[in-house]
Every structure is written in C-alpha cells, then in structure tokens.
A and B are shown apart, each in its own frame.
Chain A
Amino acid sequence: EDKVVQSPLSLVVHEGDTVTLNCSYEVTNFRSLLWYKQEKKAPTFLFMLTSSGIEKKSGRLSSILDKKELFSILNITATQTGDSAVYLCAVEGYNTDKLIFGTGTRLQVFP
C-alpha cells in the first residue's frame, strides 16, 4: 500500500533555530515527491523532487531526496514566526496523477 509518513508530528522552536522535517514514503513506481506549506486552508507549493542527491533551495528553505532510502528532508534555517505552519509531504507514482499526502508536521516558531 502506498503511504507517506512524516515526522515529527509537531515541532516547537524559537526564532533563529534550524529545523529538519522528515518524510519517508512507499509508493509504486515513484515519480516525484512534493513539499507544501499549509498556513490556513490551502497548501502552497514549495518544492518538487525527482532525483536523489540534488538539493532544491529557496531562501532559507532547502530539501533533498534519497530514493534509495525512500525519504526526503526539508530544512529551514534561521526560522521566523512566519514559518509557523503545517508542512505537508506528498508523493506520486508513475501509474497515477494523484498525490498521496502525509499527515504533516506542525511547526510553531515563537519569538
């Protein structure tokens, strides 16, 4: 059964800290892994990863994929209160266009 597991479920840090969010997956014929940030209702796209070892970076956020060990990490450096959100990981297989989501990691950044 295809599944996505994220950890930790919840994380509380202070501004300036660095955090690492984890996503492990099992999917038939893996095609891509995506990270989303969800602050209110609609998730917003962060990264799409398809190849192992290639880091995607956007400002203080970065992500990398390990297709051998079937996981991805999302790093956020120098966290800010605006980073507080639920971070969702999703994977997709070649045989389908639908995404399988994890339950998310809730990040709270305090001043």
Chain B
Amino acid sequence: GAGVSQSPSNKVTEKGKDVELRCDPISGHTALYWYRQSLGQGLEFLIYFQGNSAPDKSGLPSDRFSAERTGGSVSTLTIQRTQQEDSAVYLCASSPGTGIPLTYNEQFFGPGTRLTVL
C-alpha cells in the first residue's frame, strides 16, 4: 500500500501495563510524527523524527512515553505503566521532509490506533 499504516488499530489494556504502537510511514518519507487525539481535543504533538537527526521529543507528556525509529523507517511509540488518561487515538504521520517545495509541509496521516486503558 502507498499510505501510512499503523498497528494495531485498536488496543485495550489494563492500567499499569506497557503498550507498543507501530507506524509504517510512506516509503521514502524522511519525516515522521506522532500525535495524540483525546476525546474532544485537537491533535497534540508528541514527537518528531527527521532523517538521522536527534528527534524532537518536546511534546511527550511524561517519561513514560518514548519512541524510536529504526533504520529511518518504521517507528514504535511505547507507553510504559499506562494510565487511564493515556486513552486516546494515537496518529502517526509522515512527510517528504524539508527541501521539497510546496509539498513538504503536507503530512500524510495513518488510520491511527485507538488506545483504551481500563
């Protein structure tokens, strides 16, 4: 497929458990983003990867959240010791990155993972 894919589509977990969310960006896209959308909220930026540069982690809400991107492609968002307030839809997006005029700002979003923490 040509789009961004995410897995799982839905995840229900118990409070205190760790979860891993996966994102497969569009091939060739150097930039990858994680966002969180809670009920009734806009998209909240979490973390941003650009090529081999150090990631921008400024949006991570706590040290329970971490993300990595292996080989400049697939990314995993890990939430440790989940809390009920972590319940949200986690969206991943990718873009071609800087340097390509007119199109580089457009982020292509995946279908998201709905996380429910009981």
Give the size range of B's interface with the partner. Answer: 20 to 34
**Chain A window 85-109, contacts with chain B (Cβ cutoff 8 Å), 1 for yes, 0 for no:** 0001010100011111111100000
A98 touches B56 (CB 8 A): yes
B residues 15-41 in Cβ contact with A at 8 Å: 31, 33, 35, 40-41
B112 touches A103 (CB 8 A): no
Give the size range of A's interface with the partner. Answer: 20 to 34
Given contacts A41-B91, A41-B114, A88-B43, contact A97 B109 (CB under 8 A): no
A binding-site residues for B, Cβ under 8 Å? 4, 6, 31-32, 34, 40-45, 48, 88, 90, 92, 96-104
B binding-site residues for A, Cβ under 8 Å? 31, 33, 35, 40-45, 48, 50, 56, 59, 89, 91, 95, 97-98, 102, 104-112, 114
